[in-house]
Amino acid sequence: MINHSDTSQTIYDIKDPVYWDKNSFDQEMERVFDVCIGCRLCFNLCPSFPSLFDAVDAVGDAKREEAIKAGRVEKSERSEYLDLPEGEHASEASIEVEFRGEVSDLNDDQIWEVVDLCYQCKLCDPVCPYTPDKDHEFKLDFPKLMTRAQAIRTKERGVKANDKFLANTDFTGKLGSLFGPLINLTNQIGPARWMMEKTIGISRKRILPKFHINTFEKWFKKHESPVTDAVDKVVIFGTCFTNAHDVEVGKAAVAILEHNNVECIYPPQQCCGAPHLSPGDFKGFEKQARPNVEELSKWVDQGYKIVVTGPPTCSLTMKKDYPDYLGLDEKVQKISENTFDISEYLVYLHKREQLKTDFKNEIGTVSYHVSCHVKAQKVGFKGRDLLRLVPNTKVSLVNRCSGMDGGWGMKAEFFEDSMKVAERCVNDLGQKESDVVCSDCSMASQQLAQASEGGVTPSHPVLEIYKAYGLNEN
């Protein structure tokens, strides 16, 4: 009998030697999985939980079939239990307990399938009733457990080639800034994509984001700010995705901020490091993240806030993962406490009565896709709140994961699983009529566009606010 309240192996400090102890990890995995199969609230959130539940149920079914073949029990339908004489139900129920699948019955392949199907959407955290945030004695943190699993395996076998490639976003961005048109063309050629799949594991079916020669960083260096009497000042953290692939979102964010008399600067920066966390590569993560900490903390000391203009994964990483995996020193704490997603920051300005509402154009009806890593930040739906500031705008929420999560959805082995999750989201979006679909996550937008075959092409909230202000007409 597993003691669900025994949290002695619930260790997520990567500097603690026990974190890396395989026996400790196995005990914690068994405890957490046993709680999960008895609860099952997360059955429809991601492929990881159905994989666990189906595997355990299949073990139970196999036990029953063996008992039937051995003649220990008769094959019967569950409905026949209703016809049992009074007093015999308990006897039958006790037999049924024998056919319950247990976590200890699972083999390594089944366990690691659960681990690999977790793409760190973190949607289980707000749903789970047993988390530390809810002061429950079980102290479940499924995403951190999955990262621990990946980290222990990576320590044993090293970082896989596709994980190394997907984590090197700054390098690929630099290549894109030099050879963007050529790379974009190559990414559409079948044999080239086949070779990419065979060598680095990127699915040949995945439509890859286009590179821009004129990156957001290049644009900003040439940009002249009109702000003379600033009400606030911010560091723009452009993110590798905005810099290389989604330049218009970065430009719109700066235009909106400067329209509201916010001083913007763009100091040296690199990818936040999030891709290194997927395989539990903490050394790579620290190497990537630490220069950002050193640079950005200087600006926080000078009164600047950090505004992230790219996918909310990046702001989540700086707020939550920097303290968890770099250690909560003074510099990391400053960054964690002073980082805002762009929509979050604009709503913050509005609450301080410093956001202009001189909108020239209406947006209309919006279907707002709630991206997972916005939800995981537990700050509310600021993109929705921002859109609602425009008069006559009606916003309805579509609370469904897109199934992308950056690198996970890129990989050949998970592409089909990724698309299945996305199809459910596309279906939910199709149930609502709207003038525009919005998402704070640019990568989710790309995923939904592919899954819908171009039928759904989400816009970022700041792009809609940019147009509402009429800044695109200048």
Hey, what domains does the chain have and what are their CATH numbers? 17-157 (no CATH), 365-473 (3.40.50)
CA-derived radius of gyration, the chain? 25
CA distance 52 to 150: 17
Give helix then strand counts, H and E, for the chain.
24, 7
Q: Which residues pair with 395 in a beta bridge?
A: 366
User: At 384, phi and psi to the nearest 5?
Assistant: -65, -45
Instruction: Kindly report the average pLDDT of the chain as a whole number.
Output: 90
Which helix (H) or strand (E) segment is 36 a member of? helix 22-39
pLDDT of residue 84: 47
pLDDT at 85: 52
pLDDT over 90 at 152, yes or no: yes
pLDDT for 82 beyond 50: no
Question: Measuring CA to CA, which residue among 274, 293, 292 is closest to residue 284?
Answer: 274
Compute the residue count for the chain: 474
Q: Name the token pair of 427.
A: 């279906």
Question: Which pLDDT does position 2 carry in this prediction?
Answer: 87
- Indicate if the pLDDT at residue 257 is higher than 90: yes
Q: Which of 40-54, 254-268, 429-443 has the highest mean pLDDT?
A: 254-268
Q: Which of 219, 260, 267 is nearest to 243 (CA)?
A: 219
d(CA 169, CA 200) in angstroms, rounded, equals 14
pTM, entire model: 0.90
pLDDT single digits (tens) 390-447: 999 999 999 889 998 878 999 999 999 999 999 999 999 988 889 999 999 999 999 9
> Does the pLDDT at position 61 exceed 60?
yes
> Is the model's pLDDT at 89 over the cut of 50?
no
Mean pLDDT of 129-136: 91
The more confident residue out of 117 and 89 is 117
Q: Kindly state the average pLDDT of the residues 256-283.
A: 95
CB 59 within 8 A of CB 101: yes
pLDDT at 75: 62
pLDDT band at 100, cuts 50/70/90?
confident
Instruction: Round to whole Å and give the CA distance between 451 and 423.
Output: 6
List strand residue ranges (DSSP E) for 310-386, in order.
339-341, 365-369
Question: How many CB atoms within 10 Å of residue 394?
Answer: 13
Based on the number of CB atoms within 10 Å of its own CB, is 365 exposed (0-12), middle (13-18) or buried (19 or more)? middle
C-alpha atoms less than 13 angstroms from C-alpha of 270 in its C-beta half-sphere: 20
Is the separation of the CB atoms in 110 and 58 below 8 Å? no
pLDDT given for residue 90 in this prediction: 46
**pLDDT of residue 57 exceeding 60:** yes
Which has more pLDDT, 94 or 453? 453
Reading across the β-sheet that carries 365-369, which strands appear in turn? 394-398, 365-369, 436-439
Asked if pLDDT for residue 200 goes beyond 80, the answer is yes
How large a percentage of the chain has pLDDT more than 90? 77
pLDDT level of residue 97 (50, 70, 90 thresholds): low
Instruction: For residue 163, give the 3-state DSSP assignment.
Output: helix
Q: What is the structure's pLDDT at 373? A: 92
The per-residue pLDDT for 95 is 53
In sequence order, what DSSP letters do the residues of 223-271 get, joined into one string? -----SS-SEEEEEE--HHHHHT-HHHHHHHHHHHHHTTEEEE--S---
With CA atoms as reference, report the closest residue to 46 among 408, 334, 344, 369. Answer: 408
Other Cβ atoms less than 10 A from the Cβ of 201: the count is: 19
Pairing of strands 365-369, 436-439: parallel
Residue 411: helix, strand or coil by DSSP? Answer: strand
Burial classification of residue 77, based on how many CB atoms lie within 10 Å of its CB (0-12 exposed, 13-18 middle, 19 or more buried): exposed
**Per-residue pLDDT for 67 more than 90?**
no
Per-residue pLDDT of 332-378, as tens digits, reads 999 999 999 999 999 999 999 999 999 999 999 999 999 999 999 98
Comparing 251 with 107, which gets the higher pLDDT? 251
The percentage of the chain sitting over the pLDDT mark of 70, rounded to a whole number, equals 93
Mean pLDDT of the region 464-470: 97
What tokens does 439 get?
Answer: 């998402």
For the segment 286-341, what is each residue's pLDDT rounded down to a tens digit? 999 999 999 999 999 999 999 999 899 999 999 999 999 998 899 999 999 999 99
Q: What is the mean pLDDT of residues 142-163?
A: 94
